[in-house]
Amino acid sequence: MRHLVVLGAGTAGTMVVNKLRPKLGADWAITIVDPSDLHYYQPGFLFLPFGTYAARDVVKPMQHVLAKGIDLVKAAVDRVDAENRTVHLEDGSSLDYDYLVIATGTTPRPDQTPGMAEAMGTNVHEFYTYDGAMALRKALETFRAGRLVLHITEMPIKCPVAPLEFAFLADSFFTEKGVRDKVELTYVTPLPGAFTKPVSAKAFGDALTQKGIELEPDFVVEHVDGDAGTLVSYDEREVPFDLLVTIPLNMGADYVGRSGFGDDLNYVPVDRQTLLSTFSDRVFAVGDANNIPASKAGAVAHFAVDGFVPNFLAHIEGKPMTHLFDGHANCFIESGHGKALLIDFNYDTEPLTGVYPYAKVGPLSLLKETRLNHIGKLAFRWIYWHILMPGRHLPVPIAMSMAGKTPAGTSESSADTDTDAAPIPSF
């Protein structure tokens, strides 16, 4: 009996076990390890603070998500001994494996910024966790005037466009409440601008200015003073706030660091095309847990896992892995007032205009603000629960295709040919 152990039952880990279970024979045992017995639809956390989603929309019991024939071990990981192929759990038990898949993702770490953790839950909030999003929801229910600051501590972060979406949704939220003129919105980023890629910058133009959102770029936070209501940077700039919505430093799981194979942020080094670790041919890392130069987002996990499955089946038989991941990602970007944009890109190709996912037909528009894109983002929740998590096939290209896209320097009407794109720049 051979044993596959998967660490983490989030988006990537759940897809891996549910897709592999029917493909691996009875001589394979599959164990997934996670400290929680709940599965969260993390893209929904963005909508929880604004009341768009209820708790039932984003949380399901783990047993309702995992396929039959998968053993769930509810425990936290202490460390991995890759040399002896053993996972040591915090309760003192251990699991031996033939192959290991690390899918424990990335999490916000407010403890890494002085003053942030201490102020969290008072006038400082985050929406990258379920509890954080629900606490922020309560804070927004009574916030009707003052300065709301949206702040990014450092990149990379899970879902890189989510902070921008929050700022746009906040503008829409306070406008609908009739108090937008009483609320100052400020977007604070460590990057030189809100949009660092030329195509995205051109598409969004002066969106922040048009929505009356102040931009504070190149801001590297040194500490948060919750009592005084200020963000303080290393160059001694101060940004005052009445309500701070921060995206703390994102890091991989601590056990990765304790195991001795993670980078400075506890991400697992892998080959960016096969997701096989650089330190063991028995260990893969999928989803947000690895260090590939792609967005840490659900779409990346989906496209990468679709290719990972045939690669894994080939690898365990000693065959070459031929489904090489090109960094394909796409993302709906909520722009507020019931509209959204959509971007599609990969390792080497910036977001382009055109339609997605099918040439000429679309039906979704790329880099255009439309009502249909907003509906598409909301509809994705159903796709997540009923297609992606059960491991069913979603009929969209795994690798990025140029079909329906407008190559840079050409008109949109000329983008009807289907050519292969190279292997995701950041937004």
CB 45 within 8 A of CB 129: yes
For the record, the structure tokens of 169 come out as 């949704």
pLDDT of residue 421: 31
pLDDT of residue 427: 42
> Sign (positive/negative) of CA torsion 14, 163, 376, 56?
positive
Dist CA 123 CA 231 (whole Å): 12
Instruction: Report DSSP letters for 255-282, one per residue.
Output: HHHHHT---TTSPBPB-TTT-BBSS-TT
Dist CA 150 CA 166 (whole Å): 8
For the record, the structure tokens of 404 come out as 């329906």
**Ordered domains of the chain (ranges, CATH):** 2-47+57-105+253-315 (3.50.50.60), 110-250 (3.50.50.60), 329-414 (no CATH)
pLDDT of residue 206: 81
pLDDT of residue 205: 61
Dist CA 397 CA 328 (whole Å): 9
Question: What one-character DSSP code corresponds to residue 197?
Answer: S
Contacts of the segment 358-363: beta carbons below 8 A, 24+ positions apart: 358/403, 358/404, 359/403, 359/404, 359/415, 359/416, 359/418, 360/404, 360/416, 361/404, 362/404
pLDDT of residue 412: 46
Measure CA of the first residue to CA of the last residue in the chain; give whole Å: 45
**What does the pLDDT look like over 58-114, one tens digit per residue?**
999 999 999 999 999 999 999 999 999 999 999 999 999 999 999 999 999 999 999
pLDDT of residue 136: 98
pLDDT in tens, the chain (427 residues): 999 999 999 999 999 999 999 999 999 999 999 999 999 999 999 999 999 999 999 999 999 999 999 999 999 999 999 999 999 999 999 999 999 999 999 999 999 999 999 999 999 999 999 999 999 999 999 999 999 999 999 999 999 999 999 999 999 999 999 999 999 999 999 998 887 666 666 666 688 999 999 999 999 999 999 999 999 999 999 999 999 999 999 999 999 999 999 999 999 999 999 999 999 999 999 999 999 999 999 999 999 999 999 999 999 999 999 999 999 999 999 999 999 999 999 999 989 999 999 998 899 999 999 999 999 999 999 999 999 999 999 999 999 999 889 876 454 443 433 333 333 333 4
Q: Is 11 helix (H, G, I), strand (E, B) or coil?
A: helix
pLDDT of residue 194: 80
What pTM, to 2 d.p., does this model score? 0.92
For the record, the structure tokens of 286 come out as 């999928």
Place of tokens 């990537």: 12
Decide: residue 414, CB within 10 A, 0-12 exposed, 13-18 middle, 19+ buried. exposed
The set of residues, in sequence order, having a beta carbon less than 8 Å from that of 360 and lying 6+ positions away, is 404, 416
Say which amino acid occupies 193: G
Alpha helices in 21-61 (DSSP H): 55-58
